[in-house]
Amino acid sequence: MIRLDNVSKFYYRKGMITSGISKVSLSLDIGEFVVITGESGSGKSTLINVISGVDSYEEGEMYVDGQETSHFSSEEFEDYRRRCIANIFQEFNLVSSYTVRQNVELILQVNGCSREEIDSRVPDIIERVGLAEYSSTRVSKLSGGQQQRVAIARALAKDTSIITADEPTGNLDSVSAAGIVALLHEIAKDKLVIVVTHNEEQFKEYATRIIKMSDGHVAEDLLLQTPEAEDRIHERDYGRIRPAVKLRIGVRNAFNIVPKFVLLLIVFLFIVFSVSSIYANLKTNSQARQAQGYNQYFTNYKDTRIVARNRDKSPLTRADYSRIKAVDGVKDLEKDDVLLDEMYYIENDSISVYGYPCSLSSLHGRLDIGTRPSDDSGVVLACAKSDLGENPESILGKTYTLQSDADTGAEEPMKVKIAGVRYTKSEAEAEGESDARIYLQEKQLASMRHAAYLRVSTVTTRAGTQSYRYTSAENMYPVVASSRVAAGGAMVPEELNGGYADGRARGKKLSIHVENMYFKKTCTLKAAGVYTGRSYKKLTGGQSMEESTSEIFINEKDYDKLFPHGNYQCSVYAADVHQVDRINRVLQKEGFKTLALKNALQGDQFGGVIDIIQVPLAILLLVAVFFISYFVIRLILRSRTSYFGILQMLGMARKDTRHLLEIELMTVAGIAGAVFLVLVHLLDAGIVPGSYLQNLAGQLHLRDDLILLAMLAVIACLIAGRFSRALSRKSAMSNYREEA
C-alpha cells in the first residue's frame, strides 16, 4: 500500500547538491514491523521522511494505496500526514514547556478532535506508556526515556495506520531502550511500523523485515515473517483544529514562556508608544495649522469661539440665552458679539490696556482693588496686574479715553473713570489669549454698541432721485441721533438738495436704509430742514461745521428703529477646544444658526504643502517602526520556529499555525495597548505626573484609542503573517532541523 518506484531525494545547500536517497524502490504493507538500518549518512532518515510526507522528493514516484503523490500540493501532503502518519522522532520533538498530558492532547487538538474524545483517550494512552504519575509534569523535567515514551504516546494517540520512528532508542540507555522496543512491538499490531536504527540487534526479536541502506540505496531487503496481509490504509477522518481550541492554545502560548512574553510586551509597548506619538503629533500639527488661519470677517478668532444667532434673524431673547448657557461645555456667553471683533483701548499718558467691553451686570464677585462704579462713566477693568505698571492703585478714579481701533476718529472718544480692577492671568499665563475686559454701565455699552453697529453697516440715504452711501471706510453721510430733531424728521446737509427736482430737500420725503451682517432696517422720514453753520452747532451741542461735514441728524427714537437695541448675534466660548464641534452641533439642533470660528478659518497657504510632507513622513515612520519591530520580534520568535515546526509535523495546516501566531501576538499587543492607554489616561487625569505623556493623552480620545488598538492589531497580524510566511517557505522538516 506504500510503494516507492525509483524515488530520489536531493538536498541543495550552498550550491552543492547531495543525494539523500537515490532510485529507491520498495513496497510496504500494513502489519509489517520494518526496521531500517545502515551507517550514518546512508539515507535512513531521508527515506523515512519521504515516506511520511515530511520531506518532498524530486524523482520517481511514491504511491499511497495506488495513488500517485508526485503532484501532491503541500495541502494534500498535509492531509496525507494528518490521516495516515504518526511520527516518533529521535529528538522526541516535544513541546518542552507543555506538560505530558498537554503534549499528547496537542496532537488530537491539532487534528480537530472533540473535547470528549480527547478526555476519553488521552489518560488511557498515558497509562499505557507508563507515565500516569507524570501526567501533569512539564516535559522538560523528564528523563530521555520518559520523553521518548511521551513521543510514543503522542503517536499512539493519533492512532493512524502508519507509525514511523527515527532512531527511537538512539538517546537511551539499554534498559530504557528495551522498554521502548517492547512498547513499539506492542502497538505494531494492525499497523505499519517503520523504525530507523543503527542498532538492529535491539529489534531482531520483533522485526518482520530488515532493510539495510547504504549510500542512498537499498543494499539488502530481508523478509523475516510474512505479515497477515491487510493491504489498505485505514484512514482516520481527522479534520482541522477547532477555532475555540485554536484561540485557547494561542492565548496560552502568549504566556507560556515568561521571558518571551516580557520581551514581546516591551516591543509592543514600543510600537504603541511610537504609533501614538506619530498619530498625536500629526493631530497636533493639523490643529495648530487650523488655528493659524485667518478669517476676513472676524479679528477675534479664538478657537473656542462659536457665533450663534436665531435662524429667523430675530433678536436673541433671555430664553435664548438661557438655552445656550445650558449646553454642556459652554464656558462663557458674550451677548455683545458686535463688540468682540474690535480692539478697545482704555488709555491715558501712563497706561494703555485693551480688552473686550461688556456689561457690569455680568460682573460678579470680588474686586482686587477699588469698588464697583456708582456713576455712568465709571468702569471696572479686568486685566493682568502687570499691565497696570508699578502702582496699580494710582489708576483708580482717573479719567481715561475708551475707543476702538476701528474708530475713524470722527467722533469724540468716550471718557471713563476706572473705579475698580480685578486681576486676571497675564497673556503669557493664558497662553497668548487675552481675557482682559472692560465692564461698563448699560448706557455706555449701548452707545458703544451703536457706534460698533454703525461701523459695520452700510447706510443708504435715498433723497429724491439720489442715493448717498455711508460706510465706515468713506465716512460720508453718517446718521447721528439728536434730541433736537423731532420724531419722523431729519436735518440734512446741503448736498441732499440736489436729489430733488426743485433743488430743495426741506419738507420732502427721504428714506434711510441700514444693512449689516446682523440685520436690515429701513425708516422713512421727512426732511425738516437743511442745516447751516449755526443750526449745526445747536444740533451737535457746540461743534462748528466744517467743509466735509455731511451728517444726517435724526430723532433718537428713529435712530433706535434703525439701530435697534438688543443683540442679533452672540458668541459662545467652549471650555475646551475639543468640545467645540459637539457644542456647535447641539446649538444647531436647538435651532440656532452657528459658526465655529475654528472651522471658519482659511488655512495659511503653506498648510497644503505641510500636509504633503507630513503625511508621507508619518507613514514612513510607521513603516520604520513596523520593520524594527518585525526584526526584533523575529529574533524573539526564533526559538518558536521548532514549536511551529512540531505543530506542522503533528498535522496542523499552515493557515492554522499562522492564526495561532496571530492570536499569540495580538494577545500581547492587546495587553500592551491596554497598559499604555490606562497609563496615559491616568496621566491625563493627573493621577500620575509626566508632561510628555500628558500632552499625548490630551490628544487621545475614545475614538483615537480605538483607532490605536486597531492599528496595533493590524501590525501584530502583519508581523505574524510575515513570520509565518517565512516559516512556510521551508518544509516542516527544515523548520524542525533549524532548531536541531
Would you tell me which residues interact with Mg ion (CB under 5 A)? 45
The type of residue at 223 is L
What is the smallest separation between the CB atom of 661 and ligand ADP, expressed in angstroms?
24
C-alpha closest to that of 357 among 441, 454, 456: 441
Region 22-41 residues binding ligand ADP, contact defined as CB under 6 A: 38, 40-41
Q: Can residue 14 be called a binding residue for ligand ADP (CB under 6 A)?
A: no
Q: Can residue 212 be called a binding residue for ligand ADP (CB under 6 A)?
A: no
Q: Can residue 45 be called a binding residue for ligand ADP (CB under 6 A)?
A: yes
Which is closer to ligand ADP, CB of 18 or CB of 544? 18
Which of Mg ion, ligand ADP, none interacts with 46 (beta carbon under 5 to 8 A by kind)?
Answer: ligand ADP
Which is closer to ligand ADP, CB of 212 or CB of 437? 212
**Which residues is 8 bridged to in the sheet?**
59
Rounded-to-integer distance, Cα 555 and Cα 566, Å: 19
Chain-centroid distance, C-alpha 521: 52
- 151 neighbors 86 (Cβ within 8 angstroms): no
Only segment of 10-18, 121-129, 396-404, 693-701 that touches ligand ADP (CB under 6 A): 10-18
The type of residue at 185 is H
| Contacting residue, 22, 37, 42, 571, with ligand ADP by CB under 6 A | 42
Rounded-to-integer distance, Cα 675 and Cα 147, Å: 39
Which is closer to ligand ADP, CB of 19 or CB of 176? 19
Which is closer to ligand ADP, CB of 198 or CB of 509? 198
> Binding residues for ligand ADP, how many (CB under 6 A)?
13
Q: Supply angle C-alpha 722, 724, 730, rounded to 5.
A: 115
Which is closer to Mg ion, CB of 7 or CB of 122? 7
Kindly provide the b/e burial profile for residues 428-453, where b requires at least 16 CB atoms within 10 angstroms of the residue's own CB.
eeeeeebbbbbbbbeebbbebbbbbb
Which of ligand ADP, Mg ion, none interacts with 13 (beta carbon under 5 to 8 A by kind)?
Answer: ligand ADP
Which of Mg ion, ligand ADP, none interacts with 314 (beta carbon under 5 to 8 A by kind)?
Answer: none
Which is closer to ligand ADP, CB of 55 or CB of 656? 55
Q: Can residue 46 be called a binding residue for ligand ADP (CB under 6 A)?
A: yes
Q: Look at the alpha carbons of 243, 248, 250, 251 in this order and tell me if their dihedral is positive or negative.
A: positive
What is the smallest separation between the CB atom of 197 and ligand ADP, expressed in angstroms?
10
- 617 neighbors 282 (Cβ within 8 angstroms): no
What is the smallest separation between the CB atom of 695 and ligand ADP, expressed in angstroms?
55
Q: Can residue 443 be called a binding residue for ligand ADP (CB under 6 A)?
A: no
Region 54-113 residues binding ligand ADP, contact defined as CB under 6 A: none
Which is closer to ligand ADP, CB of 74 or CB of 579? 74
Which is closer to ligand ADP, CB of 38 or CB of 673? 38
C-alpha closest to that of 152 among 104, 189, 194: 104
Which of ligand ADP, Mg ion, none interacts with 71 (beta carbon under 5 to 8 A by kind)?
Answer: none
Only segment of 42-50, 415-423, 455-463, 574-582 that touches ligand ADP (CB under 6 A): 42-50
Which is closer to ligand ADP, CB of 38 or CB of 355? 38
Contacts of 190 (CB under 8 A, 6+ apart): 30, 31, 161, 230, 234
What is the smallest separation between the CB atom of 658 and ligand ADP, expressed in angstroms?
24
Q: Can residue 11 be called a binding residue for ligand ADP (CB under 6 A)?
A: yes
Q: Can residue 391 be called a binding residue for ligand ADP (CB under 6 A)?
A: no
Kindly tell me the burial class for residue 552, based on how many C-beta atoms sit within 10 Å of its own C-beta (0-12, 13-18, 19 or more).
Answer: buried
What is the smallest separation between the CB atom of 55 and ligand ADP, expressed in angstroms?
9
Which of Mg ion, ligand ADP, none interacts with 154 (beta carbon under 5 to 8 A by kind)?
Answer: none
C-alpha closest to that of 427 among 437, 435, 419: 435
Which is closer to ligand ADP, CB of 39 or CB of 190? 39
- In DSSP notation, 669-706 reads HHHHHHHHHHHHHHHHTTSS--HHHHHHHHH--HHHHH
What is the smallest separation between the CB atom of 91 and ligand ADP, expressed in angstroms?
13
- In DSSP notation, 587-605 reads HHHTTEEEEEGGGSPBPPT
First to last CA, the chain: 32
Q: Can residue 357 be called a binding residue for ligand ADP (CB under 6 A)?
A: no
Rounded-to-integer distance, Cα 10 and Cα 248, Å: 40
Q: Can residue 499 be called a binding residue for ligand ADP (CB under 6 A)?
A: no
Only segment of 11-19, 406-414, 539-547, 647-655 that touches ligand ADP (CB under 6 A): 11-19
Rounded-to-integer distance, Cα 452 and Cα 342, Å: 9
Helix (H) or strand (E) holding 454: helix 442-456
What is the smallest separation between the CB atom of 165 and ligand ADP, expressed in angstroms?
13
Which is closer to Mg ion, CB of 197 or CB of 441? 197
Which is closer to ligand ADP, CB of 42 or CB of 434? 42
Q: Can residue 20 be called a binding residue for ligand ADP (CB under 6 A)?
A: yes
Which of ligand ADP, Mg ion, none interacts with 82 (beta carbon under 5 to 8 A by kind)?
Answer: none
Residue with cell 440736489: 498
What is the smallest separation between the CB atom of 13 and ligand ADP, expressed in angstroms?
5
C-alpha grid cell, residue 709: 488598538
Sheet with 85-88, strands from edge to edge, namely 85-88, 162-166, 192-196, 33-38, 209-214, 217-223
Rounded-to-integer distance, Cα 510 and Cα 448, Å: 27
Which is closer to Mg ion, CB of 45 or CB of 629? 45
Region 302-321 residues binding ligand ADP, contact defined as CB under 6 A: none
What is the smallest separation between the CB atom of 216 and Mg ion, expressed in angstroms?
12
Which is closer to Mg ion, CB of 21 or CB of 697? 21
Which of ligand ADP, Mg ion, none interacts with 20 (beta carbon under 5 to 8 A by kind)?
Answer: ligand ADP
Which is closer to Mg ion, CB of 193 or CB of 245? 193
Q: Over 638-661, what HEC string results?
A: HHHHHHHHHHHHCCCCHHHHHHHH
C-alpha grid cell, residue 64: 499511497
Which of ligand ADP, Mg ion, none interacts with 40 (beta carbon under 5 to 8 A by kind)?
Answer: ligand ADP
Q: Can residue 43 be called a binding residue for ligand ADP (CB under 6 A)?
A: yes
Kindly provide the b/e burial profile for residues 88-102, where b requires at least 16 CB atoms within 10 angstroms of the residue's own CB.
bbbbbbbbebbbbbb
CB atoms within 10 A of CB 394: 12
Which of Mg ion, ligand ADP, none interacts with 11 (beta carbon under 5 to 8 A by kind)?
Answer: ligand ADP
Kindly tell me the burial class for residue 374, based on how many C-beta atoms sit within 10 Å of its own C-beta (0-12, 13-18, 19 or more).
Answer: exposed
- 572 neighbors 330 (Cβ within 8 angstroms): yes
Which of ligand ADP, Mg ion, none interacts with 690 (beta carbon under 5 to 8 A by kind)?
Answer: none
What is the smallest separation between the CB atom of 92 and Mg ion, expressed in angstroms?
14
- Length of the chain as a residue count: 740
Q: Can residue 13 be called a binding residue for ligand ADP (CB under 6 A)?
A: yes
What is the smallest separation between the CB atom of 705 and ligand ADP, expressed in angstroms?
49
C-alpha closest to that of 44 among 161, 176, 210, 162: 210
Q: Which residue is nearest to Mg ion (CB)?
A: 45
Rounded-to-integer distance, Cα 619 and Cα 279, Å: 10
Sheet with 330-334, strands from edge to edge, namely 330-334, 569-574, 305-310, 592-596
| Contacting residue, 44, 289, 598, 658, with ligand ADP by CB under 6 A | 44
What is the smallest separation between the CB atom of 733 and ligand ADP, expressed in angstroms?
8
Q: Can residue 18 be called a binding residue for ligand ADP (CB under 6 A)?
A: yes
Q: Can residue 690 be called a binding residue for ligand ADP (CB under 6 A)?
A: no
Q: Which residues bind ligand ADP (CB under 6 A)?
A: 11, 13, 18, 20, 38, 40-46, 737
